[in-house]
Amino acid sequence: MQQLDEKASPAAAVTGSRGRNTVSRTRSIAFRTLAWVTAVGVTLLFVIALMEVVFMWLPDSVVVSVFDDVTTADLVHRGHFNSIGLVAWALVLALVVQLRKPAERTASMLLAVAIVLAGAGVYGLSGSLTDWLLEELTLLVPVLLLAWLHPRAGDLLRRPSLDRNMAGLVAVAAIPWAVFAVTQLQLQWRDMAGDTHAEMEHWATAALMAVMVVMAGLIGSTDRAGWRLPAWIAVLASIDYGLHSLAFPDAASSAPPLWAAAAIFWGCAYAVAILQRSRPLLGGADGDGLSPVPGTSERPTT
C-alpha cells in the first residue's frame, strides 16, 4: 500500500503542476486581452482630452479655428481643459505600458488604480455623479479587474520601501496640493446651481488633477518596478500646471504667480531627485536612497 502511495505521489504532483500552469496561462491570456481592450478604450474615450494638453497652450484664435464648436467665451475653461488632459495622459500612459512586460510596470498599474479610485471619490464628493456614473464605472471596473489579473498583483498590496529624498519632496508638496483640491471641491459645491464650471464638474476635475500629482509622486518614490513613469508624470504635470497658470492667469483654477512658480520649482526639484536616484542604479553602485526592506538589511530591487 505504501509503495502504491509513493508511485501515486509523483503523478499527483505532475497533475497539480499542470493544473496550476493552465490557470496561470488562462489568467495571463485574460490579462493581455483586457489590457488591450482597456488601453484602447480609455485612449479613445479621452482622445480629445489628450489633445487639449497641447491645444490649451495655443492662442484663442487658433483654438477656435481648430474646434468648430468652441468659441472664445468657452476658453474661460482653458485651465480646466488642461487639467483634464493631464489626468487623461497619466491614466492612458499607465495603462498602455501594461501591454509590454507588465511585470516590470507594477508602479504604473498602481497609479492607474489610484486615479480611477480617486476619480470616483472626487466626483462622488462633488455631489453630481449622475451624468458621470456610467463613465466612472466604465473606468473603474476594467482597471480594478486588470489589477486583479496582473502578473504581479501581490506586489500592488505589499508595503513598499521609499526613496527618502523623493518621499520628502512629496510630503512637502502634499500640503499645498491638498489645500488646492479642497478649495476646488468647495467651488464645486458652492457653484453647483448655475455655474458652467460646476455643471461640467470642472472644479472637481481640477481637484482630481491635484490628487493625481501627489499620488504619482508618492508611487514614483517607492521601490515598485517601473517607478520612473509615475515619477516623471508627477514632474511634468506639476511643471505644466505651473507654467500654464503663469501663461493664462485669468483661466479658472489657475494658481497665483507665487504658487505657480512653486509648482514649477517643485517639479524641477523632484526631477533632480529622480536623476540622483537613477544615476547609481545605472552605474551599478549603492546609494539609491531607498530605505531597507522592513526586517532586513537588504535594499529593495528596482
What local confidence, expressed as pLDDT, does residue 287 receive? Answer: 40
Q: What tens digit of pLDDT does each residue of 2-12 get?
A: 554 555 555 55
Q: Side chain identity at 9, as an amino acid letter? A: S
Residues 18-62 pLDDT 10s:
555 566 888 889 999 999 999 999 999 899 889 888 888 888 777
Q: How confident is the model at residue 289 (pLDDT cuts 50, 70, 90)?
A: very low
Q: 39 is written with which cell numbers?
A: 488601453
Q: Is the dihedral of CA 104, 108, 114, 116 positive or negative?
A: negative
* Residue 197 falls inside a structural domain: yes
Cα–chain-centroid distance for residue 23? Answer: 30
Residue 7 within any structural domain of the chain: no
Which range has the top average pLDDT, 72-81, 86-95, 117-126, 128-137? Answer: 86-95
The answer to whether residue 206 sits within a structural domain is yes
Phi, psi of 101 (to 5 degrees): 50, 60
Q: pLDDT-derived band of residue 16, with 50, 70 and 90 as boundaries?
A: low
pLDDT of residue 189: 74
Using the predicted structure, report yes or no on whether residue 183 has a pLDDT greater than 60. yes
In-domain check, residue 241: yes
The domain of 182 spans 15-283
Quick check: is 244 in a domain? yes
Provide the Cα torsion 276, 282, 287, 289; round to 10°: 50
For the chain, the domain total comes to 1
**Exposure class string for 3-33: b at 16+ Cβ within 10 A, else e:** eeeeeeeeeeeeeeeeeeeeeeeeeeeebee
- Can you read off the three cell numbers belonging to residue 229? 513613469
Is residue 3 included in any domain, yes or no?
no
